[in-house]
Chain A
Amino acid sequence: MSKGTLFDKVWDLHTVGTLPSGQTQLFIGLHLIHEVTSPQAFAMLRDRGLKVMFPERTVATVDHIIPTENQARPFVDDLAEEMMQALEQNTQTNGITFYNIGSGNQGIVHVIAPEQGLTQPGMTIACGDSHTSTHGAFGAIAFGIGTSQVRDVLASQTLALSKLKVRKVEVNGKLVPGVYAKDVILHIIRKLGVTGGVGYAYEFAGTTFEQMSMEERMTVCNMAIEGGARCGYVNPDQVTFDYLKGRDAAPKGAEWDKAVTWWQSIRSNADAEYDDVVIFDAAEIAPTITWGITPGQGIAVNESIPTPEALSENDRELAAEAYQYMDLAPGTPIQGTKIDVCFIGSCTNGRMSDLREAAKVAKGRHVAEGIKAFVVPGSERVKQEAEAEGLDKIFEAAGFEWREAGCSMCLAMNPDKLQGRQISASSSNRNFKGRQGSASGRTLLMSPAMVAAAAITGTVTDVRTLL
């Protein structure tokens, strides 16, 4: 049993009581909703004659279904339009703040809440989306929930949950140039496996995370769920406070000082007890890329696709399925694999620092012939800021398309989709079969800079050769 960690402190503070089942009733400080997983929850609420208990603790945006080219209403896709209208109506009827398209605040739910200062240390945060773990970057306990649980939070601002164990995932040292936060988390998932984190919250600790910016920490926490951990977090520090200061929903004046004192106090104690500890060395992490059909099937960019003999017996069956689906042969180098589509965006890597790193690679170069490459900012604010810096011009001059904010081809619920067996270099977080809109489409996950490098050369390329 963990003791004295941030997770323990935040959990205890938010505990309402123990339910007859033995589970904890946990108060949720911030509830984020979007168009895909909320309409059925509002319907369930209506069916039971319940009201939203704390409407001011829920914030809505629209991200998954929105087109990134023509956003004129009504949407071309009737079903998308219907979902949009349901969200508009549900938020209006229930007095919930909704950041709609054109508000200047719309974007991927896990991008907008941090950038507006809604996400803060010490909070419990829930959202009907598994990548809610992103918000843990601030030292919040944040996790994804299903629709029935969205209903529970709307109705009671609480959830019935069993406490997680806490694993400290420590990475120490400096990352070499060309290695990014994305590579760190892909490396961790590769080593601990996609189920390694089931039942755990991951505390990301060590000098590597301490040196990371908030955006980098968000990339890491975002993918905790891909390692099976429902939430991941970093203890709040000066980097966190500097990021938050002055943001719309951040405390101001005297309250700011009180807040910082409190945030300091919820950090894991130096003598905290963990259920498990694992340690990695940053110097050993190379640009990492997935070759298969789960985020755990990753290798360094200069490695070859593992042969069955090189894998543990447990992993061979899935590897066999992956060789076939991906049409990649064991033993061949991943570098040089031909790419069709390049996607930069998503809640993993659709923020300013991601676009800046990709733009550095794209600048003064051109997308290889026959490659479709596009950049989708994570939010309206990211888009605006990127344009103010001229990143859009760099990308467009290099042959990338520059789009409106949304989830886009991360899960392809909107018109952005792979076609047939196309293979994509993607900065997103999932490479499952069919994830990017074609039942036979293929995805290689990598950092945004690596995606830009792939776009320029038309093949999987070690970005370090282009820096």
Chain B
Amino acid sequence: MSDAMEGESRDGSDTGDPPLLELEDLSVHFEKRTGLNPFADPEVVQAVDDVSLEINETDTVVLVGESGSGKTTLGKAAIGLQRPTSGNVRYRGQDIWDAKDGRGRVEIAHREIRKSLQIVHQDPESALNKSMTVFNALSEALHLRDEDLDSAGRRQRIYDVLAQVGLEPAPDYASRYPHQLSGGEKQRVILTRALLMNPDLVLADEAVSALDVSLRIDMMDLMLELQEVFDTSYLFVSHNLSNARYLAERANGRIGVMYLGNLVELGTPKQLIENPKHPYTKVLRWATPSLSLEEDDPGPPPVRQIDIPDATNPPSGCRFHTRCPFATEVCTQTVPRLESADDAQDAACFRQFDDHDYWDSDWLDADAADAAAERQF
């Protein structure tokens, strides 16, 4: 156990241990070759830029954002599947990439870290090998985790865990091939395979959105139940705020809103949904349709342009300023930090500070600001 670093726990249960996972000033940039000239400088896509985030034991964080917001890349970087361009990812205080490269004193072996951070893929159709039975798929995972188990022990463990996730009769399900499973059952098998490794954290990338509406609650409930059984933390990635709210609220977790590579707001689902601070979070709220008949017509999108800018050449200052109805000159120059003016959630927006220069600066589009203010965005 490493105690090289002081970690503070969000819920005040300060143990002195470093957090389970700590992302510090993390950036992931990709080079993108365009055109036919092989000698031309490649364009750089800033998929994730300068994100810091802590995830604790049995914690739940749901990242939401549009496609191209960098939420998937951030998720992959968090579990060590994507090497950051700069910044650090620490697992219980151990830098993952130092462990991988054997830099400095390695307290936790990379192999151990890899097993502890698992992923459940987006697409249940492609995540399972078509020619492998459920038993073989799970047996393979178990083998990686626990080499000492004999075949009878392994069989028992697989049947137990299948029963635990509701795939009963277990021997029947164990002998099935993926095509003999429904979408929801496939998801269960994929989740089981990840959890058999006994991970500390599971990254679930859009694992719910691919399912039918009537099965989503069921799947989310299952994941949360298993969180208790296996004592894991979750990092969910979703573009759906309704799913994010359900997961985060039931798990007592947080929602992180991503925009163009930045984390722009981070807080509890209540804070973000009832009292969003960042104009972009309000846009996501607008974009999430309600079932209530009392809801008024939501009107046109509360943004100045509906297309997300290109991440190869992100806007200066606050990256949302090109779409934000409330943007001023200040927003085009200064990058807002993710912080909080009060006790509530963190947000990367100047509007939360009453005495900020922002308020003396000129609107980029006064009409848009008026219109948005009128609609109470």
Do A and B associate with each other? no
**A-side interface residues toward B, CB under 8 Å?**
none
